[in-house]
Amino acid sequence: MPRSTPSGPSGPSALAAAMLPLLALLPLLASLALANPAPRHPGEPADLLERGPYGATALGFEAIGDMGISAQMMFLSQSGKVYVLDKTENNPVTVSGKYGTHPAWAVEYDPDANSYRTMDVYSNTFCAGGAVLGNGTWVVFGGNQPVTTNGVATTGAGAYDDMDGGTAIRMLNPCSDKSCSWIQGTTSYSTTGDTGGWLQMTGRRWYPMVEVLEDGSMIVIGGDQNGGYVNTAAQDNPTYEYFPPKGDGQAINLQFLSDTLPVNLYALTWLMPSGLLFMQANKQTILLNHTDQTTTNLPTMPIATRVYPASAATAMLPLIPDNDYKVTLLFCGGSATTQWGNDGSPGYNVTAVPADNSCVRISPEASNPQYTTDDYMFEGRSMGQFVYLPDGTMWMGGGVGMGTAGYGNDKYSVGQSYGQAPVYMPAVYNFSAPAGSRWNRTGLSASANERMYHSTNVLLPDSSILISGSNPNADFTSAQWRTRTDIERWYPWYYNNPRPNLTNAPSNLTYGGASFDLDLGSITDQGVVSTAKVVLIRGSFHTHVIGFGYRMIQLQSTYTIDMNTGNATLHVSQLPGNPGPTLFQPGPAMMFLVVEGVPSMGQWVMVGNGQLGTQTTQSNAALPSNQVKAIQNTTSSPSGSTGASGSSASGSTTKSAAGLSVPPVALPAAVLSLCTIVVGLVSAVLV
């Protein structure tokens, strides 16, 4: 099995070592399992492969190591590396950078090698926003003023040699050879003396929302000047701007941000198919036309507050052809408190307030959009985080059962945390299951580690979830709740199962146009082939339980089973040409082939033309009907096809191990050449 092991720096676990002699038997075991005609059900012990060769327990957590810094922000990039950012603080590892040797606040983490390298980010990224552009470059916006020990604001570099991140823009072109570094403006200690040129925003933004637009550029929304528990009129930045800048490059005022004070930080925003932006903050909801600045009111958010610091888990439900790609947003948990205090603190005992347990959905562009209640969670949660699994379900983990996000030093905090009672149990949400049965935790086990404010989870190409961070403190501390730098992984039920082989994925996808074919290998069982689907998960930046630019789509597909060759083919549509890139924005995305609910290893593809600007849209070519080509009469003329409902009269119906095997994760050529460009760019910037 050419799969890399998630083993820690000290080598495979004892259990894994004990399993090693079984490795040689795996191909045999796999074929035995596959030849077994009895269907294997999700969660059912997958025969002898259950714990897999590396000791991973399906549906469980595993502590695998440490990344030196606390993962306030993380993203899996198209190079296969995970980039991690923290705020300026006294982390245990250091980096020698442009402004001296100081604690590191950024690392590149290699999930295959389970190792990291520190990177130099010199401005304070404390509660920045970010996303990936349509051309594959990642951008991080804003942050806070420089701090010295104990998180105390300073005007100079202080003890940590850090600089002001309030207006900063940082860019990264990911690489697979450890050659890349963050591209940063030459930020001075005072923003007025700034020499960073266009790598600066029009104003200070702490907690800015970022969304990717249909041309692959970004809109950067709101934030405040210097941080606090919540926003105030005095330090609000109630504007938005674009990156790269559009028009005259000036910030545009947005009244909604003033109207939703003080709970308007990281205002929840998604691009809608019409091109309007759905926005939700405090209890208000609007659709914004960011081009002409007109807004339409949508219903008030019921039950609880969802934005920071209530910090509900939020997501756009996976986009599927079965409901014509209807866009639906989900909000789970948060806090029903109505007391928000000020930028200093909540001003009352917020840790005594149970977190909210409700979930609500809205389809903002359906006729007469309304919030409707969805299945409630098993428990109240603030800071639960949704992670899309390629099988179409959504994992939720982390967070607290009491209080909210945020920290401060007063009599109402636990340590410094405004949240307490960590929730250790994950749960899985199935949006397509009937109401009443959407939440599931059968077979799941709890993590041993709290993941509170400033912790992050991201999906890896093998469908495991990388979990790190947690730090409700002003600076690095070992006091409760401590600053966490350790790493866990969580494994889905199919983690150790043989995987479909995604062998001939295209390197790029268009909006409409000709379909493409994927080899399913020698599977001829129509029942199996008919479950095959192709999904994409867009590259996304994760922080504060928000996935920026995060969405998932299933492409339309049909199949042909050819009993003559013994092979099956999946015919797959490009992204929908209508509505086009407003439904799924251009940029890098991970593609998975999912058969019987079991995903292949993810492979990165470029959605769109790889450049910023208007994307070409066409209508989607019609797909061939589902087809089973029967064994042809060798003596008659060649055309032995049957229709969509046809079934073969003869032929093998066993799956072969060749069709369901675990391939190495191949790096698309496009990524390699991107990295070459990156090296050039980086050296140009460093000169």
Residues found near ligand NAG in the complex (CB under 6 A) = 41-43, 133, 135-137, 173, 244, 274-276, 289, 291-292, 349, 351-352, 391, 393, 411-412, 430, 432-433, 437, 440, 442-443, 493, 501, 503, 507-508, 510, 519, 521-522, 565, 567, 597, 609-610, 612, 633, 635-636, 658, 661, 663, 677
Select the binding partner of residue 300 from ligand NAG, Cu ion, none (C-beta < 5 to 8 A, by kind).
Answer: none
Q: Of 90 and 616, which has the nearer Cβ to ligand NAG?
A: 616
Select the binding partner of residue 639 from ligand NAG, Cu ion, none (C-beta < 5 to 8 A, by kind).
Answer: none
Q: Of 192 and 635, which has the nearer Cβ to ligand NAG?
A: 635
Select the binding partner of residue 347 from Cu ion, ligand NAG, none (C-beta < 5 to 8 A, by kind).
Answer: none
Residue 2 Cβ, how far from ligand NAG at the closest point, in Å?
Answer: 9
Q: How far is CA 538 from CA 85, 111, 169, 505, 579, in A?
A: 20, 19, 22, 16, 17
Distance from C-alpha of 46 to C-alpha of 502, rounded to nearest angstrom: 22
Select the binding partner of residue 412 from ligand NAG, Cu ion, none (C-beta < 5 to 8 A, by kind).
Answer: ligand NAG
Instruction: Tell me which residue of 406, 416, 415, 412 sits closest to 382, measured CA to CA.
Output: 406
Select the binding partner of residue 127 from ligand NAG, Cu ion, none (C-beta < 5 to 8 A, by kind).
Answer: Cu ion
Select the binding partner of residue 653 from ligand NAG, Cu ion, none (C-beta < 5 to 8 A, by kind).
Answer: none
3-state secondary structure of 88: coil
Residue 341 Cβ, how far from Cu ion at the closest point, in Å?
Answer: 16
Q: Of 244 and 527, which has the nearer Cβ to ligand NAG?
A: 244
> For the range 114-117, what are the long-range contacts, defined as Cβ-Cβ under 8 Å and sequence gap of 24 or more?
114/6, 114/7, 114/8, 114/9, 114/64, 114/65, 114/487, 115/9, 116/67, 116/68, 116/84, 117/178
Within 399-510, strands assigned E span 400-407, 417-422, 427-429, 439-440, 455-459, 465-469, 486-490, 508-509
Q: Of 127 and 132, which has the nearer Cβ to Cu ion?
A: 127
Residue 660 Cβ, how far from ligand NAG at the closest point, in Å?
Answer: 9
Residue 547 Cβ, how far from ligand NAG at the closest point, in Å?
Answer: 20
Instruction: Please report, in angstroms and rounded to a whole number, the separation of the first and last CA atoms in the chain.
Output: 44
Q: Of 609 and 641, which has the nearer Cβ to ligand NAG?
A: 609
Which residue's Cβ has the minimum distance to ligand NAG?
43
User: Is residue 209 at the binding interface for Cu ion, with CB under 5 A as the rule?
Assistant: no
Q: Of 127 and 268, which has the nearer Cβ to Cu ion?
A: 127
Residue 58 Cβ, how far from ligand NAG at the closest point, in Å?
Answer: 8
Q: Of 186 and 432, which has the nearer Cβ to ligand NAG?
A: 432
Distance from C-alpha of 164 to C-alpha of 146, rounded to nearest angstrom: 5
Within 408-485, strands assigned E span 417-422, 427-429, 439-440, 455-459, 465-469
Any idea which residue has 């993590």 for tokens?
447
Q: Of 369 and 663, which has the nearer Cβ to ligand NAG?
A: 663
Residue 614 Cβ, how far from ligand NAG at the closest point, in Å?
Answer: 13
Instruction: Tell me which residue of 11, 59, 16, 19 sits closest to 497, measured CA to CA.
Output: 59
User: Interaction with Cu ion in 121-140: which residues (CB under 5 A)?
Assistant: 127
Q: How far is CA 21 from CA 18, 120, 186, in A?
A: 7, 43, 55
Sheet with 169-172, side-by-side order of all strands: 129-132, 138-141, 169-172, 183-184
Instruction: Tell me which residue of 110, 131, 47, 119 sits closest to 542, measured CA to CA.
Output: 131
Select the binding partner of residue 136 from Cu ion, ligand NAG, none (C-beta < 5 to 8 A, by kind).
Answer: ligand NAG
Select the binding partner of residue 437 from ligand NAG, Cu ion, none (C-beta < 5 to 8 A, by kind).
Answer: ligand NAG
Amino acid letter, 467: I
Distance from C-alpha of 191 to C-alpha of 194, rounded to nearest angstrom: 5
Q: Of 12 and 610, which has the nearer Cβ to ligand NAG?
A: 610
Select the binding partner of residue 631 from Cu ion, ligand NAG, none (C-beta < 5 to 8 A, by kind).
Answer: none
Residue 587 Cβ, how far from ligand NAG at the closest point, in Å?
Answer: 10
In 291-414, where does DSSP find H-type helix? none
Q: Of 406 and 599, which has the nearer Cβ to Cu ion?
A: 406
Q: Of 340 and 476, which has the nearer Cβ to ligand NAG?
A: 340
Residue 378 Cβ, how far from ligand NAG at the closest point, in Å?
Answer: 13
For 8, the token pair is: 């820690």
* Total residues in contact with Cu ion, by rule CB under 5 A: 1
3-state secondary structure of 297: strand
Q: Of 145 and 510, which has the nearer Cβ to ligand NAG?
A: 510
Instruction: Tell me which residue of 123, 115, 76, 113 sits closest to 93, measured CA to CA.
Output: 115
Residue 571 Cβ, how far from ligand NAG at the closest point, in Å?
Answer: 15
Residue 214 Cβ, how far from ligand NAG at the closest point, in Å?
Answer: 11
**The one segment of 120-128, 159-167, 442-450, 476-484 that binds Cu ion by CB under 5 A:** 120-128
For 607, the token pair is: 């959605």
DSSP 351: G
Q: How far is CA 412 from CA 345, 346, 403, 452, 676, in A?
A: 9, 9, 10, 17, 52
Residue 633 Cβ, how far from ligand NAG at the closest point, in Å?
Answer: 4
Distance from C-alpha of 150 to C-alpha of 132, rounded to nearest angstrom: 32
Residue 569 Cβ, how far from ligand NAG at the closest point, in Å?
Answer: 8
Select the binding partner of residue 232 from Cu ion, ligand NAG, none (C-beta < 5 to 8 A, by kind).
Answer: none
3-state secondary structure of 533: strand
Instruction: Tell me which residue of 448, 445, 441, 439 sits closest to 470, measured CA to CA.
Output: 448
Interface residues with Cu ion (CB under 5 A) are 127
